[in-house]
Amino acid sequence: MPNRNRLHGEEGRAYWSMVLPAFSIYLLVMAFPIVLSIVLSVSNYSGGKMFGGEPWGFAGLKSYARVFSDPLFWNALKNNFYIVLLSVFGQLPLGFIFAYIIYRRLVKWPGFWQGVLYVPNIISVIVVGLLWQTIFSPNGPIAEVMNDLARAGFQSRLEALFASVGGFNVDDGLVSKILDMAGPAALDWFSDPVPELKELILSYEGAPLSELIGDLCNLFVPRWSPEFLSKPNIAMLPVLFVILWMYTGMYLILFLANMQKIDSQVIEAARIDGASEGQVMRYVILPALSGTIVNSAILAISGSLSSFSLIFAMTGGGPSRVTEILSIYMYNNAFLGRPNLPLANAISLVMVVISFILIGLTKMAEKRYGGKEE
């Protein structure tokens, strides 16, 4: 009996000697910050020395009330849900389809396409954000293409107008047509557009008509600018496109790796029985990957709610903060201007709760509609 007790004691000491270091690190790195965040969210702490500094204490749920009454919070939450929807119903289906095409070798050089689709995911997030910010900028490639198209279209219409009157045979009707083509841009240059523009055109008489047309294009064709990035209804579209482009490859790799674990004989048997590629994908591959799909959805949801770097690098929250998401909203309250740490911690905890709710709904959907992964 004493030997047995001594043996149990030695086992207990060995157990705790192995578990305690990891458990202590967990308490220090995970549990303590979570508890501190909860405490700060219901406090009136205003920064500075936490202990021994300015007194602080319990303030109730004021920070949470302020969060839910702030329009910026609801705008950020809406943008986050856009990202969640894109991730779950955009990245996952595309990643699955691309993985299936590569796995079934429905395209040539599957290894090449696997690499091409995954490359955006291994580039630095900041580099990607700055790259696409440049692409969408007024001096980027999109602007150049749009400017060239606008100039070419305006020039062709000007040439047709002057050809119809035989060159410099200018009258008020021709001038009015040019002004109609120019639109509001004409008002920026002339106080009395018809006579002033007519006088300008006649001053070119004797010069090549192409010179006049070129100068009129420079005068009236507005340069393209990404003003749409500040419009609430469409400002998130470029951001969502970049997120879709960048992260789809990650889910492709996840799905492809798990597809390669499926017994190929099962697929071949289905093909012999007359199943089409679509039926193989629906009735063989999808049920076998139900667990992977759910885990990928959880990754997509948690990643969508915690995304920060890419959007901050692209827009910094955007003009009028229309592209702000919850993490940037929290960052702005925690570090910009006069920090409001209780409010920032309240925002972070709201994000955690939303994440748990969405993940719970995902697990419920799996139990209700999903298959069982072998």
Q: For position 374, what pLDDT does the model report?
A: 45
Over pLDDT 90: what percentage of the chain?
15
Q: Residue 174 pLDDT > 50, yes or no? A: yes
CB of 95 closer than 8 Å to CB of 248: yes
Structural domain ending residue among the three candidates 167, 186, 220: 220
One domain for residues 158 and 272: no
Please choose, from the candidates 211, 172, 218, 217, the residue with its C-alpha nearest in 3D space to the C-alpha of residue 195. 172
Is 349 domain-assigned? yes
CB of 99 closer than 8 Å to CB of 252: yes
The four Cα atoms 228, 233, 237, 243 give a dihedral, to 10 degrees, of 130
Is 1 domain-assigned? no
Find the domain containing 272 and state its range. 62-137+231-369
Q: For position 209, what pLDDT does the model report?
A: 83
CATH number at residue 113: 1.10.3720.10
Q: Which residue has the higher pLDDT, 165 or 125?
A: 125
Supply the pTM of this predicted model.
0.77
Which whole number is the average pLDDT over 46-50? 72
Tokens linked to 13: 């000491």
> Confidence class of residue 347 from pLDDT cuts 50, 70 and 90?
very high
One domain for residues 157 and 286: no
Q: How far is the C-alpha of 346 from the C-alpha of 341, rounded, in Å?
A: 8
One domain for residues 216 and 360: no
Q: For position 228, what pLDDT does the model report?
A: 63
Count: domains in the chain: 2
Is 333 domain-assigned? yes
One domain for residues 249 and 321: yes
Residue 353: exposure state from Cβ atoms within 10 A (0-12, 13-18, ≥19): exposed
For 77-95, write each residue's pLDDT tens digit. Answer: 999 999 999 999 999 999 9
Distances (CA, A) of 45 to 155, 220, 230: 64, 57, 35
One domain for residues 304 and 365: yes
Is 35 domain-assigned? no
Structural domain ending residue among the three candidates 194, 220, 246: 220
For 250-304, write each residue's pLDDT tens digit. Answer: 999 999 999 888 888 888 888 887 888 788 888 888 888 888 888 888 888 888 8
One domain for residues 265 and 145: no
Is 78 domain-assigned? yes
One domain for residues 89 and 190: no
Please choose, from the candidates 177, 147, 148, 176, the residue with its C-alpha nearest in 3D space to the C-alpha of residue 160. 177
One domain for residues 119 and 68: yes
Q: How far is the C-alpha of 331 from the C-alpha of 337, rounded, in Å?
A: 11
Q: For position 248, what pLDDT does the model report?
A: 92
Q: How far is the C-alpha of 169 from the C-alpha of 163, rounded, in Å?
A: 10
Q: For position 5, what pLDDT does the model report?
A: 60
- Number of Cβ within 10 Å of residue 53's Cβ equals 11
For 98-124, write each residue's pLDDT tens digit. Answer: 998 998 888 888 888 888 899 998 888
One domain for residues 131 and 146: no
For 54-76, write each residue's pLDDT tens digit. Answer: 777 888 889 899 999 999 999 99
What SS3 string covers the chain? CHHHHHHHHHHHHHHHHHHHHHHHHHHHHHHHHHHHHHHHHCECCCCCCCCCCCCCCECCCHHHHHHHHCHHHHHHHHHHHHHHHHHHHHHHHHHHHHHHHHHCCCCCCHHHHHHHHHHHHHCCHHHHHHHHHHHCCCCCHHHHHHHHHHHHHHHHHHHHHHHHHCCCCCCHHHHHHHHHHHHHHHHHCCCCHHHHHHHHHHCCECECHHHHHHHHHHHHCCCCCCHHHHCCCCCHHHHHHHHHHHHHHHHHHHHHHHHCCCCHHHHHHHHHCCCCHHHHHHHHHHHHCHHHHHHHHHHHHHHHHHCCHHHHHHCCCCHHHCCCCHHHHHHHHHHCCCCCHHHHHHHHHHHHHHHHHHHHHHHHHHHHHCCCCC
Is 49 domain-assigned? no
Q: How far is the C-alpha of 133 from the C-alpha of 77, rounded, in Å?
A: 23
Q: How far is the C-alpha of 58 from the C-alpha of 108, rounded, in Å?
A: 65
Distances (CA, A) of 102 to 58, 127, 156, 259, 272: 57, 28, 46, 10, 21
Instruction: Give the Cα-Cα-Cα angle 155, 157, 163 (nearest 5 degrees).
Output: 100
Instruction: Report how far apart the first and last C-alpha atoms of the chain are (Å, whole number).
Output: 46
Q: Residue 155 phi/psi, 5° resolution? A: -65, -40
Is 39 domain-assigned? no
One domain for residues 243 and 165: no
One domain for residues 131 and 157: no
Q: Residue 370 pLDDT > 70, yes or no? A: no
Residue located via tokens 């389809």: 97
Q: For position 85, what pLDDT does the model report?
A: 92
Structural domain ending residue among the three candidates 166, 195, 220: 220
One domain for residues 193 and 260: no
CB of 371 closer than 8 Å to CB of 286: yes
Is 313 domain-assigned? yes
